[in-house]
Chains A and B, each alone.
Chain A
Amino acid sequence: MSNDAMHSDDKQITDGRKRYASGVLKYKQMGYWQPDYLPKETDVIAMFRITPQEGVPADECAAAVAGESSTATWTVVWTDRLTACELYRAKAYRVDPVPNTGPGTKTEQQYFAYIAYDLDLFEPGSIANLTASIIGNVFGFKAVKALRLEDMRIPVAYLKTFPGPATGIVVERERLDKFGRPLLGATTKPKLGLSGRNYGRVVYEALKGGLDFVKDDENINSQPFMHWRDRFLYCMEAVNKASAATGEVKGHYLNVTAGTMDEMIARAEFAKSLGSVIIMIDLVIGYTAIQTMAAWARKNDMILHLHRAGNSTYSRQKNHGMNFRVICKWMRMAGVDHIHAGTVVGKLEGDPLMIKGFYDTLRETHTPQCLETGLFFDQDWASLNKVMPVASGGIHAGQMHQLLTYLGDDVVLQFGGGTIGHPQGIQAGATANRVALEAMILARNEGRDIWNEGPQILRDAGKWCSPLKQALDVWGDVSFNYESTDTSDYAPTPTVSA
């Protein structure tokens, strides 16, 4: 590592006349690089992965990101001097080369840049305001070739301006009367084309067979083949009938995503009037819409499920965009109760260590710094409720021991194809999943080594449960072993790192 790539010789200009003379200065000269700065307890800290343009030293890049995400513009303005500008300026205070990047590797040189922001730069309780700074203009800024927001430390003082999850894991379990095991769900398939009446059939069969929840998919709203009111009415008939058939509380995530806020609220009110315990929204509706629905959910005792539709457009590639762990943090602040956060073993992107970082962020009361799971900061969650992660996408009963080992108890395991595609029918598919889960929980609690004995535990249960035996026969060997793109920079992982 040459010093030239890391550091420029530019120094902060402290003489007021020179500093505020009209013209263009380097961001370091303007004061956005403060290597001696010690972040305050109340500062928001953001950590970016920076790929500098050719010839721009890393510290100048970091200063530029600090400048463009706080007070700076492209040229010096005298009006800074009317303000407490030293306070409002974000401060880049640390730059580290990213391991396994640069000369001799497959990846061009990248840097981790740490930037501290004073609390007063942000409006209380507004994800939109926070993100307009942190992931605003700065991501199109020419001095960096690529930029990725890797992690944030949100100070307790700022967290306390957010209500957090409307319901939270603990209260959700109490309301549903379900303890000591993951919840089971499925997404209705085919996701598009079913009429309301046919759609409700899938919901009823899956719930009666043993699932706790069924789910609308992200793109089922109100299309020509099924108007939303029809879907809500038939789904609630299915939910209540299944509840009576089993003696359990059941639910269906009614997706209220729509073109306007007014329409979303109207759909949510209708779901409430029908007695649904849960509604659903998509990430693509935007941060303010999510916060609005979270406030509505809190006021109306409704569990709020968030489908992360759209996240992979900016979270999957390692050099640009943002890491999903930051979305997890923002969504816990915004107040959702469920969020899809990966399966490790299913069909969608997911390195085991990265996913542990996401799950910890959603479920723990305090997450210590842990570089191998991608958590760059110690984070106190200040009593904000816990978010229930949802594991969905290409998982089946034969993986139950792996799912339980990787993901733990506080998770919704969603087997869509693995329920509806069962050769004996949807009820049998649901029963297979429920039996597999209960058998695995029982065995784990008895102290058995489920990671190694899991397949045998499932086969044994299949001896008295033919739906499970059939599920294992059909899907037992299906797996999705692809390399992950988003992996830890700090630890050897089971998949190949960049």
Chain B
Amino acid sequence: MMTNYNRRVTQGQFSFLPDLTDTQITAQLEYALGKGWAIGIEYTDDPHPRNTYWEMFGNPMFDLRDAAGILMEINNCRKTFPSHYIRVTAFDATRGVESPTMSYIVNRPKNEPGFGLVRQEVDSRAIRYTIHSYATDKSEGERY
């Protein structure tokens, strides 16, 4: 079990708040759509801080401009992967940005085992650090 304030992975915009309700998620979706951003849904069973590429639950929904429709997709993803981490990402294609502009977790496993820190002592007191996801001690698909 993780030992930080909320005992959980704190990636994303809202991990320090109580889990968002569907109504709250819808409001955030509407905010992104209002800015002209495209929404993508991604999931993983390895929340390592440098695991950049979570699996895509389909491509970002460039042409779906309806928050209710996107929420339906989020809930489909939750049904398919009830114990995975699922995050919602907004993509801004504006020149000068062309990058994600929102990212927040909307689903997570009940128990989050967290990470270990592996220290390799090298020369002159320096240490090489490796962050290890406990979840990845099990094979893909059997982690939660």
Interface residues of A (CB under 8 A from B): 170, 173-174, 177-181, 208-210, 229, 233, 236-237, 240-241, 243-249, 273-275, 365, 383, 386, 427, 431, 434-435, 438-439, 441-442, 445-447, 461, 464, 467
- A233-B127, A240-B129, A435-B16 known; 20 other A-B pairs, CB under 8 Å? A170-B98, A177-B11, A178-B103, A179-B99, A180-B101, A180-B103, A181-B13, A210-B16, A243-B49, A244-B116, A245-B3, A248-B11, A383-B96, A439-B17, A441-B13, A442-B14, A442-B20, A445-B31, A446-B24, A464-B18
Is A245 a contact of B17 with CB atoms below 8 Å?
A: no
- Least Cβ–Cβ distance between B8 and chain A, in angstroms: 8
Q: Which of B5, B14, B49, B115 contacts A438 (CB 8 A)?
A: B14
- Please report whether the interface of chain B is mostly helix, strand, loop or mixed according to DSSP: loop
Q: Which of A233, A365, A441, A445 contacts B125 (CB 8 A)?
A: A233
Q: How far is the CA of A355 from the CA of B140 in the complex (A)?
A: 50
Is B10 a contact of A248 with CB atoms below 8 Å?
A: yes
- Least Cβ–Cβ distance between A462 and chain B, in angstroms: 13
Is A247 a contact of B31 with CB atoms below 8 Å?
A: no
**Interchain Cβ contacts under 8 Å between A and B, 17 examples:** A170-B98, A173-B100, A174-B99, A177-B50, A179-B99, A180-B13, A209-B4, A233-B126, A240-B129, A243-B49, A245-B3, A248-B10, A365-B96, A431-B5, A442-B20, A445-B27, A464-B18
Which of the listed residues B4, B18, B114 has the most CB atoms from chain A within 10 Å of its own CB? B4
Count of interface residues, chain B, beta-carbon cutoff 8 Å: 45
Which residues of A sit under 8 angstroms from B115, Cβ to Cβ? 243-245, 247
Q: Which of B16, B48, B102, B129 contacts A247 (CB 8 A)?
A: B48
B1-35 with Cβ < 8 A to chain A: 2-5, 9-11, 13-18, 20, 24, 27-28, 31
Is A275 a contact of B129 with CB atoms below 8 Å?
A: yes
Interface assignment of B90: CB less than 8 Å from any CB of chain A = yes
How does the 8 Å CB contact mask read for B97-115 relative to A, with 1 for contact and 0 for none?
1111111100000000011
Is B117 a contact of A241 with CB atoms below 8 Å?
A: yes
- Please report whether the interface of chain A is mostly helix, strand, loop or mixed according to DSSP: helix
Q: How far is the CA of A178 from the CA of B47 in the complex (A)?
A: 14
Interface residues of B (CB under 8 A from A): 2-5, 9-11, 13-18, 20, 24, 27-28, 31, 47-50, 52, 89-90, 95-104, 114-117, 125-129, 131
Which residues of B sit under 8 angstroms from A445, Cβ to Cβ? 27-28, 31
Q: How far is the CA of A427 from the CA of B3 in the complex (A)?
A: 12
Is A170 a contact of B10 with CB atoms below 8 Å?
A: no
Q: Which of A178, A244, A274, A427 contacts B131 (CB 8 A)?
A: A244
Closest to B132 in A: A244
- Least Cβ–Cβ distance between A443 and chain B, in angstroms: 10
Which residues of A sit under 8 angstroms from B13, Cβ to Cβ? 179-181, 438, 441-442
Closest to A437 in B: B16
Is A431 a contact of B126 with CB atoms below 8 Å?
A: no
Which of the listed residues B10, B16, B102, B131 has the most CB atoms from chain A within 10 Å of its own CB? B16
Q: How far is the CA of A247 from the CA of B12 in the complex (A)?
A: 10
Q: A179-B101, A180-B101, A233-B126 are in contact. Are A247 and B114 (CB under 8 A)?
A: yes
Q: How far is the CA of A79 from the CA of B11 in the complex (A)?
A: 66
Is B24 a contact of A442 with CB atoms below 8 Å?
A: yes
Closest to A464 in B: B18
Closest to A245 in B: B4
- Least Cβ–Cβ distance between B113 and chain A, in angstroms: 11
Which residues of A sit under 8 angstroms from B3, Cβ to Cβ? 245
Q: How far is the CA of A240 from the CA of B117 in the complex (A)?
A: 7
Which of the listed residues B10, B98, B99, B102 has the most CB atoms from chain A within 10 Å of its own CB? B10
Closest to B85 in A: A247
Is A438 a contact of B27 with CB atoms below 8 Å?
A: no
Is A237 a contact of B127 with CB atoms below 8 Å?
A: yes
- Least Cβ–Cβ distance between A401 and chain B, in angstroms: 16
Q: How far is the CA of A317 from the CA of B33 in the complex (A)?
A: 45
Is A170 a contact of B97 with CB atoms below 8 Å?
A: yes
